[in-house]
Amino acid sequence: MPIALLNDLHPDYRLGLWRIEESVPWFEHGLWLDDAERAQLHLLKDSRKIEFLAVRQVLHILTGQEKRHPLQKDAWGKPFLPDSAYFVSLSHSNGMAAAMMAIQPVGIDIQHIVEKTERVVPKFMRIDEQASLSEYFRLPHIHVYWSAKEALYKAYGRKQLDFCRHLFIEPFAYQPQGGMLRGYIHKEGSPPIFYDLQYLPWEDYMLVWAIENRIP
């Protein structure tokens, strides 16, 4: 069932969360899919099917439209709504689904906070980012960095990014209530693309979203 529709965060974007408690038939009964989406759904196993359907359910609610428009993907695999001025992004993790739509390129990521993420820190965090980690809130702080880079990756949407070499999060002090931060993507031979990010701890999850801002 939907647990939060955070439409009042900013006039330029909408964000929604859904705790997945329903079955695949429940979603299929109320969510119209086109032939391409049904073909994708057919290839997925049960848990992935529910996540596939749940993020589309959240996004449809955010549009505020009675008739659902099918979600499509561009040549890079980035989802978009045809005939819409909004950019969209989707995420799911351990029974939670999240969706976002904005008038600028956007990325959203939700992660279940788990101890094992600590083991892969060197694979996605730079040395200066690691040095900023809180002594008392180390694990959620790590998950902000992880989700922030996932959000940047999704907002960029053209893949071919290395999380340490190309995705930069300006080191920040972790706040248990959530907060703002800045990040940017910089590939060799291209100017950096800057993003405003916000993080929000939600129960035992970390939610982060990124909005493109080309003004450094």
Q: What is the pLDDT of residue 5?
A: 65
pTM of the model: 0.93
Q: What is the pLDDT of residue 16?
A: 92
User: Which residues 6+ apart lie within 8 Å of 14 measured at CB?
Assistant: 5, 6, 7, 62, 100, 101, 102
Nearest to 170, CA basis, from 184, 190, 156, 191: 184
Count the Cβ atoms, other than its own, within 10 Å of residue 70: 14
Question: What CATH number was assigned to the domain covering residues 108-212?
Answer: 3.90.470
Torsion of CA 176, 209, 166, 121, to 10 degrees: 40
Stretch 174-197: mean pLDDT: 95
Q: Work out the pLDDT band at 12, boundaries 50, 70, 90.
A: confident
Whether 2-103 shares its CATH topology with 108-212 is answered: yes
Query: What is the CATH code for 2-103?
Result: 3.90.470.20
The C-alpha atoms of residue 209 and residue 166 are separated, in whole angstroms, by 18
Q: Name the band, by pLDDT with cuts 50, 70 and 90, for residue 108.
A: very high
The stretch 59-88 carries a mean pLDDT of 90
- The residue-averaged pLDDT of 196-216 equals 90
Give the model's confidence band at 214: pLDDT under 50 very low, under 70 low, under 90 confident, else very high. Answer: low
Q: How confident is the model over 71-78, as a mean pLDDT?
A: 89
pLDDT of residue 45: 87
Torsions phi, psi of 10, nearest 5? -165, 145
User: Percent of the chain at pLDDT above 70?
Assistant: 95
**Which pLDDT belongs to residue 46?**
79
Question: Average pLDDT for residues 189-201, to the nearest whole number?
Answer: 94
Check whether 207 has a pLDDT greater than 90: yes
- pLDDT tens for each residue of 112-134: 999 999 999 999 999 999 999 99
| Per-domain residue ranges of the chain | 2-103, 108-212
